[in-house]
Structure 1
Amino acid sequence: MSSTSAAAKRPGHRCRTALVLVAVAAAVAACGTSGAAPPGAEIVSRPTGAPNPSPGATQGAQVHGGAAAGLSADAPRPRASSDAAPTRAAGPPQQTITARDGTVLTATVVVPPVPGRYPLAVIPAAWGFPNTVFDVQAKELSARGYVVLTYNTRGFFSSGGTVDVSGPRDVSDVSDVISWALAHTPADPARVGVAGLSYGGGIALLAAAADARVRTVASLSGWTDFGYSLYAADTRHKAALDLLTSLLQKTGRSGADFTTFLDDYNGLRNMPSVLAWAKARSAGSLLDAVNRHHPAVFMAAAYGDNFFAPNPQIDFFTGLTGPKSLQLAPGDHGTNEIGGLLGIPNGEWSSAWDWFDRGLRPGSPSAAAHAPAAVRLTTDGGGVETYPTWAAATRSTTTLRLGPAPLGTGDLSPTAATGSWSTSIRSGTDTTANAGTVLITKALQGISHLPPTLRLDSVDRRDGAVWQAPPTPLPQRIRGIPTLRLSLTPNVDTGTVVAYLYATSPTGDSTLLSKAVHTYLGAKPGQPQAATLAFDPVATDVLTGCHLSLVIDTKDDLYLDMDRAGGTVAFGSPSAQPSQLSVPLG
């Protein structure tokens, strides 16, 4: 059962033809505490004559009780740091933390001003960004009553070593940072959380699998399957690769293993080794370990994330057995969280910190309130819906067959003809159908709730084929992950097909709902093959009089396609296994 806000009942944006952008300016005021202990604090009282641990102690987690305090057996203690302990006097102090392999990490620590025992929040920096971009959120979280430690991941900025790409050294660094904080700050070893954005979000989930001390996790625009992000459907994702390499060149230092990975990935060589390397950096492959440790996990993602698609994150979330919360909203990679880093009130960060409070501050208002719904969806129209599970968002599925398209345009309906028909397009030439500009198109959609429009008559039918469903007589609520089963016949051994799902208004304007891709390798020219394409998740309403449209071409700037010169690909719909679009309905 879902609950829907009034915003979801507004007149449908799908049939609108004007794009309206709303700019929201917000001022953030910070307030301090004085006198009584701030939220989250527990005044520590010790027996007379008991030792009083100094914040500058250098005995690792033993200061707070060693293994008895929650140090897992697989988390060796870091070397002692010679730095002074963080002070409460002025501003977030800079620290250096020496990891177990001798690599020095640079960090910022914010400690509440009143003596006491506080929950700990560790925030690894995002890929290619310094930890200081989290200063606003660190201040916000500390004001709630947390010791907050943000740090530059190894290989970036002033931290030492080379970039480990969320590998075993990055994961052990989280444990070493936790141990350092327990030794040098008034952090409570029984109340430890790790949060991160993008790269840091992926590391946070991996840390929960490796270190039993991590009781709460928040992963925002993170990932759970690194291989899927880089090579889903046998397709190299150019946008994800560009993100990795461009930021690394500017702010980081690459290690030999990552250089080898990039060389193999670019050259499409040794892909089993590449995927094994990526799997070791994926929390999805460590789900059993996460469940054994039973942390409370919060995840936030954008439907249209062009770097870390949310599909495997949904699978990971579904497999979690502990407390969990998933939020999905329109947008692209990190675009829903960026405002919070700039000091603008932000729902994703607020939800993450409320989740921290539920798990790490038992007396907080968030802990006392009713538990949030497991799944929270913001629709393309701006409405908010909640569900007990991801599966509950989809109540039924409608199946639309691809019909004959002799001139490049065909019917999309439950009764479309199957059989011997075939429609062919050229490979390697783009059409006007595309997924937009990375980090721009979906970000604007997230703000305006009005995606950009396309005229289907602008799609060159030599390079793309179009199928259109009849107008819907009633509003159609699409909730879930659409899939497309295709029968395709190429005339060359390799190629790529890209599918776009649109909602088309009575005036002919089409707005992009989702995209999917598939690359065929080692095909036998002239022989049909089956392919199943999974779209990005969708939460939108197609209004009365509008209809679904499907466009298939062979090129998009998001991907490194495998199209060959002179290539063509034909689509058909054999009776035994029709080409069809499965649409999840809510």
Structure 2
Amino acid sequence: MRTPRTAAGTFSAVLLATTALGIAAPAAHATPVTGSSSTASAAGTSSAPSFRFVDIPGAEGITLKGNVFTPSGDDGYERHPAVVLPSSWGLNDLEYLAQAQKLADSGYVVVSYTARGFYLSGGRIDVAGPLDVADISKVIDWTLANTPADPERIGMAGVSYGAGLTLMGAAHDPRVKAVAALSGWADLTESIYGGRTQHLQSSLLLGAAGYLTGRPSAEFQQVLTDFLASNYDQEDELIAWGKVRSPATYLDRINANGTAVMLANAWGDTIFPPNQLASFYDRLSVPKRLEFRPGDHATPEITGLFGLPNDVWSDTRRWLDHHLKGEDNGIDGEQPVRLASRSGGAYEGYDSWSGVPSATRKLSLDSTRRITANVDSGADGGIIFLSSLADQLARTPPIVSVPLLPRAFAAVWKSPRYETSQQVRGTPVLHTTVTPSAARGTFIAYLYDVNALGIGKLVTHAPYTFTDRTPGNPFGVDLQLYSTAYDLPAGHRLAVVVDTVDPLYIEHNPAFSGLTLSSPAADPSWLSVPLRRPSLP
């Protein structure tokens, strides 16, 4: 028998259903059997799409909980394009009610399902592993057998975990013709372990949500334990585990399938940073679209989950309409890379990601800086969700007083003041020489926008961890900072700051250790700044 939804699931059901749709949530304790359902009008009228809860057979005999919207007026003979919506991490199949109804209103069959291991779906959390991939094909099989879906017009879309599953579906099931991955990942290892540094706040959040709303597999529990314990002896195993779960691993399959791929993420996504997605986009040879906006993980599209106007979801529907329904809505004629600056202004269009910066200039990081490790200088990447959300809503990123940063714990370099605005677009890169006092350590590089009073607003940053180095021996570092779009006002300057502690990350600096950052004459240190216009001297 279908047991009642958990408290979190019930809350999401009521919130989404009553706020976004104005419908009563169907009884969470209904008792559908495989292929059958309890059916209700989505808005209480015969002209609205029909809605039903369903049980869908998953891989290895488990049951996936789901729901289906069917277009109104379906006569049982006409075939409709279909969209499969896998749930986000920690959420269930009720997540997409508002957008599912909008899609059904325009003629789609829409099947949403709760990923295995979460809430009432069977099995254990596989983190987009082989069992999740098998479930995707099972859901498509069920959709074709139990709804008026057209087998030639199958699409997928999803947010966060659902976005990752969507891209895995594009790679592993050639029936998927078009996808929209919102706030997802292409390289899972690079997302949570970029710079060989464990992303602490995001991994704790994901782990806690997994335990609270689902049943982690034994494999996932072990990986999470090793990850949080900074067990570098298991690094190869972690990378292999992540590779299996990364759509980038299967790029050739996506290209061979010809699936049309739309990617949309936030500049400040603290779970799945933008760099790994942009690299994946560049290597796609299928119809493709890339969108970046201000915000953090899933914050650009969250209002759309409540049925409110939302650019991300509007573009998602246009993308699916063009590639699944053949609508000539103009989206294929637009420049495929669409960016919104964190500083405001209209959307910017580009022909490619590599073509976003029109110039790159280098800031010289001359002279030697020595810093003591294990002390937070005050330069930080912020707090997961809160800091980038503040940047999205109020254009207020993490702020620091650059003159007051203690030079014993932070290395600082400043540029001259710029007479004109500098439009930073793309991926800044740090090149420097590091001499450690210990075999392992961590540092974080920051780029700040500094005004006349010395107040610095964070433009971007990235962590870097090294192991097995010889104390006292210098080594070179090339570190990509997180991609961004930021407008430096006229009269401001840029500042590069390096320190060794950030609450976002696990650091690996032994007690009483330190770092020396130098700029040898034969290999000078610099930070490259990608610009929309060649405005830096």
TM-score by length of 2: 0.89
SS at 2:522's partner residue?
coil
Aligned to 1:247: 209
SS in 1 for 2:59: coil
Structure 1 residue 343 displacement after superposition: 2.5
Residue 88 (structure 1) shift: 6.4
Alignment of 1:171-182 (within 5 A): 171-182=133-144
Partner in structure 1 of residue 385 of structure 2: 439
1:190 is displaced (CA, Å) by 0.6
Deviation at 1:370, TM superposition (A): 5.3
Is the Cα–Cα contact under 8 Å of residues 86 and 109 in structure 1 kept in the other structure? Answer: no
Provide, for residues 323-345 of structure 1, a one-character-per-residue CA deviation record: whole Å limited to 9, x for no partner: 10000011111111111112221
Conservation of the 8 A alpha-carbon contact between 2:20 and 2:308: no
> What is the deviation of 1:233?
1.3
What's the counterpart of residue 256 of structure 1? Answer: 218
> Match for residue 354 of structure 2?
391
* Superposed displacement of residue 243, structure 1: 2.3
Whichever residue aligns with residue 572 of structure 1, its letter is S
Q: Is 2:410 the counterpart of 1:460? A: no
User: Which residue of 41, 59, 65 corresponds with 1:106?
Assistant: 65
- Equivalent in the alignment of 2:452: 506
- Partner SS, residue 305 of structure 1: coil
Are 2:53 and 1:94 aligned? Answer: yes
Does the Cα contact within 8 Å between 2:41 and 2:51 map onto a contact in 1?
no
User: Among the aligned pairs, what percent are the same residue?
Assistant: 37
Alpha-carbon deviation of 1:263?
A: 2.5
How many Å separate the matches in 1 of 2:90 and 2:21? 28
- Please name the residue that 2:323 is paired with: 359
Residue identity in the other structure for 1:359: H
Contact 1:489/1:528 (8 A) holds in 2: yes
- 1:273 matched to which residue of 2? 237
Instruction: Output one character per residue of 1:231-271: Cα deviation in whole Å (capped at 9) or x when no partner.
Output: 11111111231122110110010111112212322331311
Counterpart among 437, 442, 446 of residue 491 in structure 1: 437
Q: Which range is displaced more, 92-101 or 326-335?
A: 92-101
Deviates more, 1:284-293 or 1:109-118: 109-118
Query: How many residue pairs align between the two structures?
Result: 494
1:15-34 maps to which residues of 2 (within 5 A)?
none
TM-score normalised by the chain length of structure 1: 0.82
Gaps of 5+ in 2: 1-17, 24-32, 43-49, 533-537
- 1:401 pairs with one of 364, 371, 387: 364
Q: Distance in 1 between matches of 2:199 and 2:447?
A: 19
Paired residues of 1:28 and 1:344 also in contact (CA < 8 A): no
1:62-73 pair list within 5 angstroms: none
Q: Look up the match of 2:520.
A: 574
In 1, Cα distance between the equivalents of 2:300 and 2:19?
Answer: 18
**CA shift for structure 1 position 350:** 1.2
Alpha-carbon separation, structure 2, partners of 1:221 and 1:377: 14
State the match for 2:416 in structure 1: 470
Among 123, 148, 164, the alignment partner of 1:186 is: 148
* Letter paired with 2:348: E
SS in 1 for 2:487: strand
Pick from 323, 337, 340: which aligns with 2:287? 323
Partner of 2:265: 301
Q: Which has the higher contact order (CA 8 A, sep 6+)?
A: 1
Per the TM alignment, residue 28 of structure 1 is displaced from its structure 2 partner at its CA by 8.7
- CA–CA separation in structure 2 for the residues paired with 1:450 and 1:339: 20
User: Could you tell me which amino acid in structure 2 is paired with residue 471 of structure 1?
Assistant: R
1:525 aligns to what? 471
Equivalent residues of 2:21, 2:307 under 8 A apart: no
2:307 is aligned to: 343
Q: Is the 8 A contact 2:59 2:131 kept in 1?
A: no
Q: Distance in 2 between matches of 1:248 and 1:370?
A: 38
Q: Which has the larger radius of gyration?
A: 1
Matches of 1:495 and 1:445, distance apart in 2:
30
Paired residue type of 1:260: Q
Range with greater deviation from structure 2 (432-441 or 337-346): 337-346
Q: How far apart, in 1, do the equivalents of 2:70 and 2:494 lie?
A: 54
User: Which residues in structure 2 correspond to 1:154-173 (within 5 Å)?
Assistant: 154-173=116-135
Question: Which residue, 333, 339, 363 being the options, matches 1:377?
Answer: 339
Q: Which residue of 2 aligns with 1:516?
A: 462
What is the CA-CA distance between 1:173 and the residue it aligns to?
Answer: 0.7
State whether residues 28 and 345 of structure 1, in contact with CA within 8 Å, keep that contact through their aligned partners in structure 2: no
CA contact (8 A) 1:402 1:573 kept: yes
Provide the rounded CA distance (Å) in 1 between the counterparts of 2:167 and 2:104: 22
Give how far 1:395 is off: 1.1
In structure 1, the residue matched to 2:171 is 209
Residue in 2 that maps onto 1:84: 36
Q: 2:381–2:398: 8 Å Cα contact kept in structure 1? A: no
1:481 is matched with which residue: 413, 427, 438? 427
Quick check: 2:337–2:351 contact (8 Å CA) kept in 1? yes
1:369 Cα deviation after fit: 5.9
Distance 1:424 1:370 in 2: 52
Gaps of 5+ in 1: 1-26, 33-80, 405-421
Shift of 1:444: 1.5
